[in-house]
Amino acid sequence: MEQPYFRLLHRLAVIGVVVTIALTIGIGGTITSAEVGMAYPTWPDINGGSLFSIFYGKLAETFGIGSVVEHTHRQAASLTGLIILVLAIASWVTRGVPKNLRLLATGSLVIVIAQGLLGATRVLENTYSGAILHAVGAQFVVLLLVVLAKTTARDWHRPMQHFKAEHVDRIRLWSVVALVLLFLNLFAAASLRHKQGAFEGHLILAITTAGVILYLIRQALTTFREQKKMARLARSLAHILGTQLALGAAAWAFLIGPLIGSFPDEDTRFLAQSLIATGHLLCGVLVLAVTTALWMEVRFRIDGGGTE
């Protein structure tokens, strides 16, 4: 029997992933790179302007460009929240949606609201610990949206694939380890970006995480070489991880390493450092998103009862 496919829910989840990564986290990362997180120190309003006001020119004139970046981040985050709100409502009003999926969508709504309040607390209390938690919380929202996108996808209910239990168990284990390490590394990176944690912490975790993910990719490519979807996911992860390692090396060299003094002027230095740091952050989120997708496949769509 063909399983139901909830096209609206899937599209909302995919749009949610794109909006959250490209806009909300992209602009949020820019805020930290430019260090203008407190350019707009009130919440939810600013001198009578609401969250939904389109008054960028006036805002820039009165409070500077930094406040426009912060305002745009809040608007993008509201869009993420709105998408998840619609997704949660749609999951309850659409007939035939499994209870687990409804609960997942509702849970995501709760998490995204908590994430918004965490952002508000970070501003109102002006705390770096709040900023670090807010940064890590954003990645958790991405993880939930990827899970929603996977479980609502048309091919989610395709027949299970059977592989040797020993191999499947190993990949399951290391994909979970990779996800845990990614979150810990995001915490270390956010601490570093907010000048709280030492660089060594992020470096050691980055090397460890990269090692685990490379091992995971190798195992996935070896075990699932005949399985196109898994092989494609593993190769994507390899490409993104390679880019991420290159960006990480560049971030070290140009932000705190030997190339810090290689910029012709202050404006170029600031722009280049912001782009590298924000790019490194975004690539890290992509690594998380693809690793989550790979874990979902191996956890729920691959069976360990086969003989290879």
Partner 1 sequence: MSLPRSDSISLAVVAVSTLVALYFTLTGSFAGASAEPIYSFEQAEQSELFDLMTDEFGGFLTPTMSGSWAMENLQVGRKVYEQQCIHCHGTDGHAETYTANLLTPAPRDFGLGVVKFTSTPVGLPATRNDLLRTIKEGVASTSMSRFEGSIKEQDLQDVADYAMYLLIRGAVWTNATDRLGAGGLSPAQAFAAAMEDQRQQFDLALASSTRPKIPSVADSARGREMYFDNDLGCLVCHQVDASGGPVNGLDLWGQPMVARDLTKGELRGGDSPADVYLRIRNGVKGTPMPAMAAELTPEQIWDLVAFVRSVQEDN
Residues interacting with partner 1, by CB under 8 A? Answer: 34-36, 38-41, 47, 60-67, 69, 125-128, 166, 169-170, 173-174, 177, 181, 184, 187-188, 191-192, 195-205, 207-208, 211-212, 215, 255-256, 260, 266-267, 270
From the CB of 201, what's the least distance to partner 1, in Å? 3
**Encoded amino acid at 101, one letter:** L
Phi, psi of 183, rounded to the nearest 5 degrees: -65, -40
Number of Cβ within a 10 Å radius of residue 108: 24
Q: Which distant-in-sequence residues (6+ apart) come within 8 Å of 228 by Cβ?
A: none
63 vs 224 by CB, closer to partner 1? 63
4 vs 64 by CB, closer to partner 1? 64
From the CB of 271, what's the least distance to partner 1, in Å? 8
Q: Is 35 left (phi over 0), alpha (psi -120 to 50) or beta?
A: left
Best CA proximity match to 287, nearest among 62, 21, 32: 21
From the CB of 219, what's the least distance to partner 1, in Å? 10
From the CB of 269, what's the least distance to partner 1, in Å? 8
162 vs 170 by CB, closer to partner 1? 170
150 vs 202 by CB, closer to partner 1? 202
Phi, psi of 180, rounded to the nearest 5 degrees: -60, -45
Number of Cβ within a 10 Å radius of residue 268: 11
What distances in angstroms separate CA 103 from CA 88, 108, 146, 156, 307, one per listed residue?
Answer: 8, 8, 15, 18, 35
148 vs 205 by CB, closer to partner 1? 205
From the CB of 18, what's the least distance to partner 1, in Å? 27
79 vs 253 by CB, closer to partner 1? 253
C-alpha 142/C-alpha 128 separation (Å) is: 22
From the CB of 170, what's the least distance to partner 1, in Å? 6
